[in-house]
Structure formats: C-alpha cells, structure tokens
Chain A
Amino acid sequence: MAFDSWLGITPYPGISAFIWVLLAIGALYLARNPAHRAIQAIFQALGALAELASDALGKGEKRLATRNRDVLLAHGREAKERVIEREFERVADTVRKDLAGHPALQRRLSESITRIDEDHQRAVDVPPDPPGWVKAVEAVAKLDNRGDSTVGTILSEMHRSLVKSHDRALTEYRGACRERHGLLKRMLPEWRRIQTTLNQVDRNVESVLERSRSIDRHIAEYGDLVRGTDQALRVLSSSSLVQFFVAALVLGVAIGGAAINFSLIARPMAEMVGGTSFIGGFRTADIAALVIILVEISMGLFLMESLRITRLFPVIGALPDKMRVRMIGVTFTLLFLLASVEAGLAYMREVLMQDELATAALLRGGEAVQGEYLWITTAAQMGMGFVLPFALVFVAIPLETFVHSLRTVVGLIGIGVLRFLAFVLHLLGVLFTHLGSALVRIYDIVLFLPLWIESTWGGKSRSGARKRAEDSYAEVRS
C-alpha cells in the first residue's frame, strides 16, 4: 500500500516513479561530499578495528606460543631429568652390584696367581746330577783285564751297579716329570678362572662405559633443552603429538574395558541399591557400578603413584618411603577387595539372568532350559570381574601421558586457531578499506548524469566539481 501511495503522486505511476528517481538523484548529488566522507570514515574505522583485532590476536598467538614453548621445554626437561636419574640409578646399581665385589675378585685373582707361581716354581725341570764316580769307572774299565778274572768280576759288578744306578735315576726323573706335568695340569683351571674373572671385569667396565656414554648423550640433549634450541623444541613437539595419539588410543581401549566391567556389575548392583531408584535421571544401580569402577581406577592411580611409576600427584611421590610402602599395601588391598566384590557381582549377574530367564519361560508357559556349559560363562564372567580392575590399574600410565601431551596439543590447536582468526581479521581489514573506496565509486556511478551535466555545462563550477571529485578520490586513496 505504501509503495502504491508513493506511486500515486501523479495519475501515472511511471511518471511518479521518474519524479521520485529524479528527487533521489538530486538529494544524493547534494549530499555527495558528506556521503563520500561518511562512507570512507565508516569503512576505514571498520578496517582499523579489524586490523587492531588482528594485531591483538597475533600478539595473543605469540604469547601462547611462548607459553607453549615454555611448557614443552619444562616437560621435556622433567622427562629428561627422569631418564638421567634412572641412568644414574642403573650406574649406581652396576657399581653396587659388580664393583662392590671387586675386592673379592681381586683376592681371587691374587690367590690364583700365587698358586700358579708356586706351581710354576715347583714345576721347574732340574736335570738329575750325573753320578760322580762315572769317570773313575771309565778309568777302571780301560784297564787291561786279559787273563785276570778278578778284574773282569770287578768290572762286571761295576757295570751292574752302574746300570742299576741309571735305572734308579731314570725312574726318579720320570717321577719328577710326572709330578711336574701334574702341577702344570693343575694350573690350567686356574688360568681359565683368571680369564673368566677378567672377562667379567671387562663386561662390568664396558657396561659402566656404555651407561656413561648414554648419560653423556642425555646430558647433551638436556643441555639443548635448557638452552631451548629449536631442534629440541621440534623433537619435543612431534614426540608430544605422537604420545597424545598413542595415549588417546590406549585410553580408548581402557574405556572399552571399563564399559565391559560396568555391564558386568550394573545389573547385580540393582540387588544392592534397588533397580528402580534414580539420581538425576540415572539409575542408582548404574551410578553405583560406575562409582565402583571409578574408585578402582583411582586406587590404580594411587598405586602407580606410590610405586613412582607415574607422577600425577607430587604429594604422593614426595611421601617418605615408609609411608609410601604403606600406601602401596593399602591401595593394593582395597583393589583386591574391590576385584573380589566384582567377581562376586559377576557371579550374581549370572544367577539373576538365569532367574529372569526361568521366570520368563514360566510366564510363556514353557520351562527354563539349564545350559550344560553354563559354568564356563559363569567362570569367565567371574574371571573378568576379578582381572579387569587390575588391568585398569595400568590406565594411569597412558592417562599421565595424555594429560601431559594434551597441554601441548591444546596449545598447538590454540595457536593455529588464533593464527587463522588473525589472518581472517587482517583480510577483513583490507576488505573494509577497499570496500569504502569501491562504494564511493559506486555512489558516483548512480550520479553519472548530474556529474556529466556538471562537467559539461558547469562552466566555472566545472573546475570546482573536478576539484571536489579529485578531493574525494584523494581521500579514498588516502
């Protein structure tokens, strides 16, 4: 209706519309300079705002990157300190275990060497002394014994004595040789023992050297972390991302295990807390089952903390050893009790299911069929009910990794988002600036007719109009 009334100022709508267009163009022409300035001011302000916001986001991104870098380096330093600490513990163990027995080793070596020395001394080959009277016998033997039987008898007697003496000397010599060989034979195991002992010493020293090389490497990496080098940061960042995804995967598996655990105990829990009471829209039995599982996971966390496998709670790690051992005992006992309760509930679940099946069969007019191998599923459920709580203890390890790497990943995502927003705002700023110029030109396109008339017949005012146009474009350019 309003549009019709606008077109009704003359009897002819076309003429009415033409008059309105002329009036509008006239009004726009008169308001041209202020309109140009207004358009430019508005879009320049918008562009400046967008640039300002982009700068602010850029600064925020830099702050976040710095913070992320600090967190990453701190975490890397902490992890490296743990590794170095562990290496030193290993070296200490090696020294304590192997080098503590070094004096005994040395004593064994000395004893072996002394024994070898003694045996060696005793095994020296001393040739038997030739009998002193051999030359006298030779002289007597050269005597002429022709026709003298007495000399012959003496000589044969001497020969017999000499042969006997030689035989005795030879027997003694052979005995001595045998004894020497026995002594030398006894030295062989001593040599082998010495060789084994020396090999062991060599291995121990090599192990310590290997550890020291490893420590050197870790110390060098730790130095990089302390200096905050880009290389160390890149390694940490990529390692953190890998850890995040691996930990998320393992946590997913653990959640699956917890879900199975939940289904094992939720139904029988209804026997304890009722099957129809609700807390906040959830069955109390379900909540109770969930709480039991969460308590088990908490106990697992505390157990891992007490064992110093994870370090999520510094308070537990800082406890005195005696208290920590007590805590290990308490948490393990509670875990064992909860696992036993779960096994009982799993058994109860099977009993309840059989009862329900029997009731349903009776109501259907049939009879419940008792499976022959029912005990297998019952035993399997009980076993799972007992084992799963202990398996869930190990959730603490991926959880710790996940929590630590999550900080880095969230930081990286935040940096990415801020960078993207800053880029978009910068684009908007540029767009607003150029949009103002474009709108000024579009404004003039609408007024092409009066501007043309002004430039053609404006006379004196032509130079003024040109000047105004130039001014306005100059403003746009600025």
Chain B
Amino acid sequence: MKRPAILALALAAALGSASCSDTGPRNSGVYLLLDTSGTYAMELDKAEQIISYTLTQLDGLDSFAVARIDTGSFSEKDIVAKVTLDDRPSTANQQKRAFAETIASFVDTVEAAPYTDITGGLLQAVEFLNEKAPGRKTIFIFSDLKEDLEAGYVRDIEVELEGFEVVALNVTKLRSDNLDPREYLERLALWQQRVESEGGTWRVVNDLDRLESLLRG
C-alpha cells in the first residue's frame, strides 16, 4: 500500500511542477506598417512577399495586422487587414488565404500618401498588440524611415516599447542619402536610439531574400 502511494505522489508532483513551469501566453503578435508615401509606394510588391512569408510562419491564436503609413497613421482606419488565427489548423488556413487576398487587393489599389507619419503608426501598432496581449510582440516597419509630418501633427511623444521587437524592413536609400550617406546612417541610428531608449529591441533587415531571420526565436 505504501509504495503505490509514494509513486502516485511522485507522479502528481512531477505533473504539478510541469504544469507550473510555463504559464504565459505562447502566441505571437505581428503588426506590419507599410509606408505608402511618395515613391516608396512602388515597393509594395516586396511587402506582399513579406506578408505572405509571415502568414506561413504564424500558427493558431497568433495575431497579425497590416496597416498603412500615411499622413495621419494613428487611426484604425489605416489598418488594411487584421486577423487572429483560429486554434484549428483548417480554419487558420482559410483565414490566411482570405488575408492574402485582402492584401493583394490593397496593393493593387493603393494610392501614394503625401506625408509619412511613422510614429503615429507605431503608436497604433503598440495599442493593437497590447490589446491582443500575445506572448511575443513584433512590429515590422516597411519604410525608408524618413518621417515627414504634416503641419499640426504632434508626434514628439514617448512610445512605451517594453517587450516589443521593432524590425525595420527594406530601408531604402533616398536620393539625398546618396549625396550624403551620413543622413541615412543618422536616420537609422536615430530610430534605433529611440526604440531602445523606450525599452524595445531594434533590428534592420534589408536582405529580403533571407526572410527566415524575420521571425526568429
């Protein structure tokens, strides 16, 4: 009688310790900001490729949203498509297909925006992802990172980025960057400093042929 009781206790303890080992959410939240301003709108075909790749990497209960960066990006109206994938793989596949179709339609019909409000988009991304509360929060910024605000838009505000990973994608060089490359480097350094000072982690991925490093970890 004594031995089975000890075995049962050991089993219960093992199960208990296993169940208590990791209780946090395991899903991911990805928010992709698409720069649609000026000539950068021509780069959106590449963005579609990134979105498709991201969709293939997401699992059930992961959240994904794609929003455009335009004159005033701190708005739900700028969210082109958003989805939280279903727990069942078959339904998740259907959602992924529908999402891809929405993005394709958007890329075909998008019009260039006169201004570039990246900070507003970042704020919107943080708000969206905090609301979804995934285990891992990633913000992709598909932009040349050149912010150009319309008069009257206040964006010198702090964005709480603790626990966020911000990845700048396809940061293209502008004509002025070619004249003075320091502008490009300063722009990158500025965004990095800004993200890291607000608690986030910063990465730049310009080689879109190696997307496997996009959602790492």
What is the interface of chain A, defined by CB distance below 8 A to chain B?
A: 267, 270-271, 274-282, 351-352, 355-356, 358-360, 362-365
Contact of B52 among A351, A358, A364 (CB under 8 A): A364
Check if A271 sits within 8 Å of B96, measured CB to CB. no
Q: Which 9 A-B pairs have CB atoms at the shortest separation, nearest pair first?
A: A280-B18, A274-B87, A363-B52, A280-B19, A276-B60, A359-B93, A276-B61, A275-B60, A355-B93
- Whether B43 is near chain A, meaning CB under 8 Å from some CB there, is no
Using CB atoms, name the residue of chain A closest to B16.
A280
Scoring B residues 56 to 99 as 1 if CB is less than 8 Å from chain A, else 0, what string do you get?
Answer: 10011100000000000000000000000001111011001100
Residues of B within 8 A of A267 (CB): 89
Given contacts A280-B18, A280-B19, contact A352 B26 (CB under 8 A): no
> B17: shortest Cβ distance to chain A, in Å?
8
Check if A360 sits within 8 Å of B56, measured CB to CB. yes
Check if A362 sits within 8 Å of B89, measured CB to CB. no
Q: Give how many A-B residue pairs fall within 8 Å (CB-CB).
A: 62
| CA–CA, A277 and B52, complex, Å | 25
Residues of A within 8 A of B93 (CB): 355-356, 358-359
Scoring B residues 1 to 41 as 1 if CB is less than 8 Å from chain A, else 0, what string do you get?
Answer: 00000000000000100110110001100000000000000
| CA–CA, A281 and B100, complex, Å | 32
- Whether B195 is near chain A, meaning CB under 8 Å from some CB there, is no
Residues of A within 8 A of B89 (CB): 267, 270-271, 275, 352, 355-356
Using CB atoms, name the residue of chain A closest to B96.
A359
- Whether B55 is near chain A, meaning CB under 8 Å from some CB there, is yes
Check if A281 sits within 8 Å of B96, measured CB to CB. no
Name 24 A/B residue pairs within 8 A (Cβ), A-sorted: A270-B87, A270-B89, A271-B88, A271-B89, A275-B59, A275-B87, A276-B27, A276-B59, A276-B60, A276-B61, A278-B22, A280-B19, A281-B19, A352-B89, A355-B90, A356-B89, A356-B93, A359-B96, A360-B56, A362-B100, A363-B53, A363-B97, A364-B56, A365-B52
Residues of B within 8 A of A280 (CB): 15, 18-19, 21
Check if B60 sits within 8 Å of A278, measured CB to CB. no
What is the interface of chain B, defined by CB distance below 8 A to chain A?
A: 15, 18-19, 21-22, 26-27, 52-53, 55-56, 59-61, 87-90, 92-93, 96-97, 100
> A464: shortest Cβ distance to chain B, in Å?
65
Check if B52 sits within 8 Å of A281, measured CB to CB. no
Check if B26 sits within 8 Å of A276, measured CB to CB. yes
| CA–CA, A450 and B18, complex, Å | 69
Residues of A within 8 A of B90 (CB): 271, 351-352, 355
| CA–CA, A270 and B22, complex, Å | 20
Contact of A279 among B19, B27, B55, B60 (CB under 8 A): B19
Check if B21 sits within 8 Å of A281, measured CB to CB. yes
Using CB atoms, name the residue of chain A closest to B14.
A280
Residues of A within 8 A of B96 (CB): 359, 363
Residues of A within 8 A of B19 (CB): 279-281
Residues of B within 8 A of A270 (CB): 60, 87-89
Q: Is the interface of B mostly helix, strand, loop or mixed?
A: helix
Residues of A within 8 A of B52 (CB): 363-365
| CA–CA, A277 and B97, complex, Å | 23
Using CB atoms, name the residue of chain A closest to B23.
A278
Given contacts A276-B59, A281-B18, A281-B22, 6 further A-B contacts (CB under 8 A): A275-B59, A352-B89, A352-B90, A363-B53, A363-B56, A364-B52
Using CB atoms, name the residue of chain A closest to B17.
A280
Using CB atoms, name the residue of chain B closest to A358.
B93
Using CB atoms, name the residue of chain A closest to B92.
A275
> A251: shortest Cβ distance to chain B, in Å?
21
Residues of A within 8 A of B53 (CB): 363
Check if B26 sits within 8 Å of A278, measured CB to CB. yes
| CA–CA, A281 and B18, complex, Å | 7
Residues of B within 8 A of A278 (CB): 22, 26
Check if B97 sits within 8 Å of A362, measured CB to CB. yes
> B49: shortest Cβ distance to chain A, in Å?
8
Using CB atoms, name the residue of chain A closest to B93.
A359
Contact of A276 among B22, B55, B87 (CB under 8 A): B87
**B21, B61, B89, B96, most chain A CB atoms within 10 A:** B89
| CA–CA, A351 and B93, complex, Å | 12
| CA–CA, A474 and B96, complex, Å | 93
Residues of B within 8 A of A356 (CB): 89, 93
Residues of B within 8 A of A364 (CB): 52, 56
Contact of A363 among B18, B26, B55, B59 (CB under 8 A): B55
| CA–CA, A358 and B59, complex, Å | 16
> B181: shortest Cβ distance to chain A, in Å?
34
> B5: shortest Cβ distance to chain A, in Å?
20
Residues of A within 8 A of B88 (CB): 270-271, 274-275
Residues of A within 8 A of B61 (CB): 276
| CA–CA, A365 and B27, complex, Å | 26
Using CB atoms, name the residue of chain A closest to B100.
A363
| CA–CA, A275 and B59, complex, Å | 8
| CA–CA, A280 and B19, complex, Å | 3
| CA–CA, A276 and B87, complex, Å | 6
Given contacts A280-B15, A281-B18, A281-B22, contact A274 B60 (CB under 8 A): yes
Using CB atoms, name the residue of chain B closest to A360.
B56
> B148: shortest Cβ distance to chain A, in Å?
32
**A271, A278, A363, most chain B CB atoms within 10 A:** A363
Check if B87 sits within 8 Å of A277, measured CB to CB. yes
Residues of B within 8 A of A358 (CB): 93
Residues of B within 8 A of A271 (CB): 88-90
> B111: shortest Cβ distance to chain A, in Å?
24
> A231: shortest Cβ distance to chain B, in Å?
34
| CA–CA, A269 and B197, complex, Å | 45
Using CB atoms, name the residue of chain B closest to A364.
B52
Using CB atoms, name the residue of chain B closest to A270.
B89
> A428: shortest Cβ distance to chain B, in Å?
33
Residues of A within 8 A of B97 (CB): 359, 362-363
> A340: shortest Cβ distance to chain B, in Å?
21
> A238: shortest Cβ distance to chain B, in Å?
29
Residues of A within 8 A of B18 (CB): 280-282
| CA–CA, A365 and B100, complex, Å | 10
Residues of B within 8 A of A274 (CB): 60, 87-88
| CA–CA, A317 and B191, complex, Å | 76
